[in-house]
Amino acid sequence: MDVIAAISTANALSAIGIVRVSGEGCFALCDKIFQPAGGGLFSVSRSREMVLGRLLDQEGRVVDSCLAVRFPGPASYTGEDCAEFHCHGSPVVLGEALSALFAAGARQAGRGEFTKRAFLNGRMDLTQAEAVIDLIESETAQAARNAVEQLGGALRSRIEPVYDGLLDSASRFYAVVDYPDEDIEDLTREDTLAALNRAERTLETLLATAGRGRILRQGVPTAILGRPNVGKSSLLNALVGYDRAIVTDVAGTTRDTVEERAAVGGVLLRLIDTAGIRETRDEVERLGVERSRRAAEAAELALLVLDGSQVMTEEDHAAAEAARMVPRTLVVINKSDLPRRLEPAALEGLGPVLSVSAREGTGLEALERAVGALFPPGAAPAGEVLTNARQTEALGRALEAVRGARSALLGGLTPDAVLSDVERAMN
């Protein structure tokens, strides 16, 4: 495959930035732009060892003094010859280094193309390739742990035995199908049934993790509910960890779709409709009964905020009613730095009650723990949580086909009917 190159690190000032190349003939190409300080050619330097040298542009001007390293294929990330240049992390320097590689004959790598090559060259399977992007995009430690285990092949090693079991059943059936006059022997039937049952159990176990996986990857849709001035905005700032105005005037977006994300107690929360909380000046809209109802409808977690220094009002009750629509609620009694006047008897049964001061930042750790307790990591080992919609959908279809094969077998259907379902499951 042709030589591809890309800047692999973020486009921001940093101490080090990395430019990566991969493809047949890439070492000769690197020789055109990189001169080892110790003399000699980079293409014959020791593999997997850093070489100090000068990176040159087309005119021979020095772009950077940097380190380079060779990863000869097939034991490289992509499975082909690869090299990396560890430059000083200026976007300008990295851009020039990349241009030099283009001038020498490389082309810009597409998004994910290094990993795509790794997949095409058999360095990883699809679950692992998908784990790469999950790991890069992970926003909590738990999500990262799951992705790194999948990258190591955890999911694959759960699915492979299922596949092998089905393959084994299928091969027994090929024989039967070739001699259609024969009955399915009892032994074949027993073994196949056992294999199908095992497959079903594993697929069910994996599929049961998909809900948790969605939370790991996308976060918990969360509504902060409460009447004006109880401190929703202050709590939001405390959770997100910094003060910032939301940019809402982006063409094509409405205020209702603006959301922020915060890792709270190890759980990624997707805070719904925070624009309404932060920005609405209009008093009528600030009451936001309709708004909070809509936010509550979409939420899996409600943070019901009350002002502990005031007695309950009608509006507090209205907010509590909205919170009742949400599967899980935490009652957050704010302004604990002020004398307490709230008597939350009316909040019975809504959910755990916590006392915080958003202004002083007190009680937030207990809030974090409470969120973590509502969304525990679950029993599935890291790496065996399905975070990917394609994987979930594919396993769902496999499970359906396994069940179809079993009904066909038990219902005395012809061997080819059983076989076609087994093959569907394997696909």
Question: Where along the sequence are the contacts to ligand GDP (CB under 6 A)?
Answer: 226, 228-234, 277, 334-335, 337-338, 357-359
Q: Which is nearer to ligand GDP, 194 or 338 (CB)?
A: 338
In angstroms, give the least distance from the CB of 237 to ligand GDP: 8
| Tokens matching residue 149 | 């285990």
Residue 188 or residue 234: which is nearer to ligand GDP going by CB? 234
C-alpha–C-alpha distance, residues 55 and 35, integer Å:
7
Q: How far is the CB of 122 from ligand GDP (least distance, A)?
A: 54
Give the nearer residue to ligand GDP in terms of CB position, either 68 or 277.
Answer: 277
Structure-block tokens of residue 356: 């915080």
Q: Give the nearer residue to ligand GDP in terms of CB position, either 206 or 230.
A: 230
Distance in angstroms between the alpha carbons of the first and the last residue of the chain: 28
For residues 20 and 227, which CB has a smaller minimum distance to ligand GDP in the complex?
Answer: 227
| Chain CA centroid to CA 327, Å | 23
- The DSSP output letter for 42 is G
Sequence-distant (≥ 6) Cβ neighbours of residue 193 within 8 angstroms? 406, 409, 410
Number of Cβ within 10 Å of residue 365's Cβ equals 11
CB of 346 to ligand GDP, least distance (A): 19
Q: How many CB atoms lie within 10 A of CB 426?
A: 18
| Token pair of 404 as six digits | 């179809």
Helix then strand then coil, in percent of the chain rounded to 5, is 50, 20, 35
Distance in angstroms (rounded) separating the CA atoms of residues 176 and 232: 68
- Sign of the dihedral defined by the CA atoms of residues 93, 95, 98, 102, in that order: negative
* Residue 298: CB minimum distance to ligand GDP, A: 19
Element (H, E) at 355: strand 353-355
- Whose Cβ is closer to ligand GDP: residue 7's or residue 239's? 239
Give the nearer residue to ligand GDP in terms of CB position, either 187 or 245: 245
Least distance to ligand GDP from the beta carbon of 355, Å? 10
Q: Are 96 and 57 in contact (CB under 8 A)?
A: yes
- Tell the smallest beta-carbon distance from residue 339 to ligand GDP (Å): 10
Q: Which is nearer to ligand GDP, 98 or 358 (CB)?
A: 358
As a whole number of angstroms, the distance between CA 29 and CA 33 comes to 7
Rounded Cα gap, residues 149 and 128, in angstroms: 9
Residue 206 beta carbon to ligand GDP: minimum distance, rounded to whole angstroms = 42
Q: Closest approach of Cβ 245 to ligand GDP, in Å? A: 13
Q: Shortest approach of ligand GDP to residue 331 CB, angstroms?
A: 15
* Tokens encoding 352: 């755990």
Nearer to ligand GDP, 259 or 337 (CB): 337
Tokens representing 376 are: 């525990």
